[in-house]
């Protein structure tokens, strides 16, 4: 009789674990950002592409280099427009399932510079997190600026894709479930 109770306890634990799996993808994965604290610069009119169809465009910088304007776009649709100044932090959040607010982007304006021909804004650190409402991220083509030290003159493409968040938890749950079933069968045999 005790072994039957142990078996039912294992089954109940497995059911609770399996019910929790769909919520894993909905939670923010702050341990594995798509972009992890990198920095970049934009000159007026330039855009930087990100994972899942996002891009950031520097629209304007004033001559004193103390105010600017950026637009964050998702597939060419503006999702956030903001005025910026040095040391300012910009967030882009979404609300999924009408309950949880999730940070998708974090940008810090680390510097603004004004020149005769162009204006430059540096962003560092920059973080992008997975948006569960969009398709899975793919590798981004990365072009290097003229002053990057890439003397070949050709554009290099990044073939590194960031791992999909949540996969390790699903595999761990599957392994725990199989081990529980195995222990349950062993306890029945004894």
Domain boundaries, the chain: 2-27+167-189, 35-148
Q: Produce one character per residue of 65-85: b if its CB has 16 or more CB atoms within 10 Å, e if not.
A: beebebebbbeeeeebeeebe
The pLDDT value given to residue 175: 76
Residue 147 per-residue DSSP state: G
**Length of the chain in residues, anyone?**
190
Given strand 35-43, what is the order of strands in its sheet?
35-43, 119-128, 100-114, 89-96
- Cis, peptide link before residue 134, omega less than 30° from 0: no
- How do the pLDDT tens digits run along the chain, 190 residues long? 555 666 666 677 766 666 655 544 444 555 678 888 889 999 999 999 999 999 999 999 988 888 999 999 999 899 999 999 999 999 999 887 777 788 889 999 999 998 888 899 999 999 999 888 888 887 765 544 544 444 444 443 344 444 555 666 676 777 777 777 877 777 777 6
Please state which CATH class domain 35-148 belongs to.
mainly beta
Tell me how far apart the alpha carbons of residues 29 and 27 are, in angstroms, rounded to a whole number: 6
Residues 73 and 57: beta-carbon distance below 8 Å: yes
8's tokens = 């039912």
In DSSP notation, 57-104 reads: EEEEE-TTSS-EEEEEEETTEEEEEEEE-TT-EEEEEEEETTTEEEEE
The alpha-carbon radius of gyration of the chain (Å, integer) is 24
Q: What is the distance, to the nearest Å, from the Cα of residue 43 to the centroid of all Cα atoms in its chain?
A: 24
Residues 6 and 187: beta-carbon distance below 8 Å: yes
Residue 32 per-residue DSSP state: S
């Amino acid at each position: 009789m005790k072994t039957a109770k142990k078996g039912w306890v294992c089954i109940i634990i497995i059911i609770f674990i399996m019910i929790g799996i769909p919520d894993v993808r909905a939670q923010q994965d702050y341990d594995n950002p798509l972009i992890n604290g990198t920095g970049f610069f934009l000159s007026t009119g330039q855009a930087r592409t990100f994972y899942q169809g996002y891009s950031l465009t520097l629209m304007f910088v004033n001559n004193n280099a103390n105010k600017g304007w950026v637009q964050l776009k998702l597939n060419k649709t503006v999702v956030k427009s903001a005025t910026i100044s040095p040391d300012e932090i910009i967030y882009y959040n979404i609300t999924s399932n009408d309950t949880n607010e999730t940070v998708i982007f974090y940008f810090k304006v680390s510097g603004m510079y004004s020149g005769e021909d162009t204006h430059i804004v540096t962003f560092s650190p920059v973080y992008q997190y997975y948006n569960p409402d969009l398709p899975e991220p793919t590798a981004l083509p990365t072009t290097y600026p003229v002053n990057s030290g890439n003397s070949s003159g050709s554009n290099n493409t990044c073939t590194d894709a960031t791992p999909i968040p949540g996969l390790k938890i699903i595999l761990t749950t599957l392994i725990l479930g199989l081990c529980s079933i195995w222990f349950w069968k062993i306890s029945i045999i004894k």
